[in-house]
Amino acid sequence: MTEKPKHPNYSLTKSREAVLFDEDTYMNPIPRAVIRPNSSILLDGEWKFALDNENRGLSENWFVNHNYTQNAHWPGSVEAHISQVSPGTNKYWHDQVIVWYERTFPLPKPVDTGRSGCNQLQLTFGACGYETRVWLNGIQLKTIEGEFVHIGEYTSFSYELDETILKPENRLTIRIMATMDADTTRGKQESAVYKRGGIWYQTYSGGVRSIWLETVEKNRLRSRVGVVSYVEDNLVRFNLTTRIHDPGVYKIRLNVYNRTQKDAEPIATDEFPLTLEAGQKQQRLVLEVPDAQVWSPENPHLYRLIAQLIDEDGYASEIEAHFGLRKIESRGSGIYLNNKKIYINGILYQPGMASYEQIKKHMHAMKKLGCNLVRIHIAGVDPRIYNLADKLGLLLWVEVPSPHRSNATSRSNHKAELLRMLALIGTHPSVIIWSLYNEDWGAQDIATSVETRSYIMDMYHYMQIAHPQFLVVDNDGWQHISFEGRLKSDILTAHLYTPDLERWKELLDGLVNGQQTGIAAFPLVVGDPFFFRKQVPLIVSEWGGFGFADYGGPADDSERTASITAFKKELHARPIAGDIYTQATNIEDEKNGLIDFETGELKVPEGLLGNPEE
Task: Give 6-30 pLDDT, tens digit per residue.
Answer: 333 334 434 333 333 344 434 567 8
Helices in 501-604 by DSSP H: which ranges?
Answer: 501-512, 557-572
- Does the pLDDT of residue 105 top 80, yes or no? yes
Give SS3 for 238: strand
Q: Is the dihedral of CA 335, 340, 341, 344 positive or negative?
A: negative
pLDDT in tens, 221-266: 999 999 998 889 999 999 999 999 999 999 999 999 998 877 779 9
CA distance 362 to 596: 8
- DSSP annotation of 440: T
Nearest to 13 by CA among 116, 108, 111: 111
Q: Which pLDDT score is estimated for 21?
A: 35
If phi over 0 gives left and psi between -120 and 50 gives alpha, with beta otherwise, what is residue 338? Answer: left
Q: Which pLDDT score is estimated for 116?
A: 63
CA atoms within 13 A on the CB side of 504: 22
Question: Are the CB atoms for 532 and 514 separated by under 8 Å?
Answer: yes
| Cβ partners under 8 Å of residue 18, min gap 6 | 35, 36, 37, 38, 39, 40
- Does the pLDDT of residue 297 top 70, yes or no? yes
Nearest to 429 by CA among 327, 532, 503, 522: 327
Q: Measured at the alpha carbon of residue 23, what is the angle toward residues 19 and 26, in degrees to the nearest 5?
A: 70
pLDDT in tens, 380-433: 888 889 999 999 999 999 999 999 999 999 999 999 999 999 998 889 999 999
CA distance 478 to 474: 10
- Does the pLDDT of residue 373 top 80, yes or no? yes
CA distance 504 to 543: 10
pLDDT in tens, 486-503: 999 999 999 999 999 999
Nearest to 424 by CA among 593, 566, 606, 241: 241
Q: Which pLDDT score is estimated for 303?
A: 96
Question: To 10 degrees, the CA torsion angle through 554, 555, 558, 564?
Answer: 10
- How much is the pTM? 0.93
pLDDT interval class at 65 (50, 70, 90): very high
CA distance 221 to 318: 7
Cα–Cα separations (whole angstroms), residue 53 to 99, 116, 304? 8, 46, 48
Q: For residue 390, what is the enclosing H or E element?
A: helix 384-392
CA distance 196 to 394: 31
Question: Are the CB atoms for 220 and 113 separated by under 8 Å?
Answer: no
Question: Are the CB atoms for 111 and 12 separated by under 8 Å?
Answer: yes
Distance from CA of residue 518 to its chain's centroid? 34
> In the β-sheet with 279-288, what is the strand arrangement from edge to edge?
220-230, 235-244, 279-288
Question: Are the CB atoms for 477 and 542 separated by under 8 Å?
Answer: yes
Mean pLDDT computed over 37-56: 93
